[in-house]
Amino acid sequence: MHSPDDTPRRPARGALSGVRILDMATVLAAPLGATLCADQGAEVVKLELPGGGDALRGLQPVKDGKALWWKIANRGKRGITLDVRQPAGRALLLRLVTQFDVLVENFRTGTLDRWGLDLATLHRANPRLVVVRLTGFGQTGPYKSRPGFARIFEAMSGFTNLTGEAGGSPLHSNFPVGDAVAGLFCAFSIASEMARLRGDPQALGCEVDLAATEALFRLLDPLPVEHEQLGTVRMPAGNCASYTAPSNMYRSRDGLYFSVVASSDPIFQRLCAAVDKPEWANDPRFASNPARVVNLVALDEGLGAWFAAHDYDTIERRLEDAGIPFSKIFTIADIEQDPHYRAREAIIRLPDPDYGSLPAPCAVPRVPGRELPIPRTGPDTGEHNAEVYGEFGLDAAALAALRAEKVI
């Protein structure tokens, strides 16, 4: 007899099982939203132009002519090709959407309308279709037709202005954070609308107007209120936080960088003892978080000097024993070897036809008792044309004719 802990884990249906998503977006933000839904059980079909051309296929990392980022970012999807700009392609898309719950697109505002695929036309084909339009600046407003990429969203949202050294140039991250945040809101939008439609069989579809700039700005809650009520314009502060202290990055004697956060008074008091400065706990300059923020320079100079005089092993042991939130600055090599990441299987292997398997982050979140199947890497251009179009009754002859006309 097996105990509960011995019971073999079986793949389960994800929370979005039964949801069908047609992803005709490009690059990263909107496709990421569809991928996150695929992680949770949605069936996603990736639609590309017959010749490919998605810019993500050309972004590094690329190996042997294979776009590795594409493979990971579009995991769990089937791939088809279709030129919706042609009348035959438009007609075929309108057949496709009758069998999908969600259409995801990220063309410049008005592009689908010009191709004869306006919202009214799409809803005549499928009244319950949710059309998620993820653009840089939304479907309305004076900037609605502007092009945009992640760094543009980050700059305009106010996010980039919070990075960098005080008095220096703002800094962009070496990763498109703006795209990733917009992708999260895309997945949230899809899940929200599916909950609405599942709760009411008579409910109609809708247009979701998702602006990537607004998605990133939405996370910056305190900026408007602190500006209005206090006259404060939050600016770059290096690795410090201007709202809590201590919260900074430090360097050990042996050259390792690490972050420490001791915002609450009890944690700060434990930190004082851990760094051999018990007198700081009763120093009026550091008695509360507001006082510590005011006296941030003196506090950080003291902490920085102590950390710089000790090797990281000693610092790690002291902070761990004292229950202080801290972490070494991890590289991907550190993540791969870290015992916590390894214990939680945070890196999974995706089956891949070219490389056997490829590493990727696990699905998030986890639901105990629900073991989701491991998805395959993203598809080659048009890899599943015969399979997907065959489900709509198109035989080999019909597909050959469409291929000859460069519709697929």
Catalytically active residues, by annotation: 179
- What is the rounded distance in angstroms from the CA atom of residue 283 to the CA atom of residue 299? 11
- What region, left, alpha or beta, does residue 53 occupy, with left being phi > 0 and alpha being psi -120 to 50 degrees? left
- What is the rounded distance in angstroms from the CA atom of residue 114 to the CA atom of residue 122? 13
- What is the rounded distance in angstroms from the CA atom of residue 180 to the CA atom of residue 183? 5
Q: What are phi and psi of 20, to 5 degrees?
A: -115, 125
Q: By CB neighbour count within 10 A (0-12 exposed, 13-18 middle, 19+ buried), where does 338 fall?
A: middle
Please give the structure tokens belonging to residue 194: 């599916």
- What is the rounded distance in angstroms from the CA atom of residue 161 to the CA atom of residue 157? 9
DSSP collapsed to 3 states, 100-135: CCEEEECCCCCHHHHCCCCHHHHHHHCCCCEEEEEE
Please give the structure tokens belonging to residue 392: 């709509």
Q: Which residues of 123-144 are buried (b: 16+ CB within 10 A; e: fewer)?
A: beebebbbbbbbbbbbeeeeeb
Query: Smallest Cα–Cα separation from 79: which of 124, 123, 115, 38?
Result: 38
- What is the rounded distance in angstroms from the CA atom of residue 408 to the CA atom of residue 400? 9
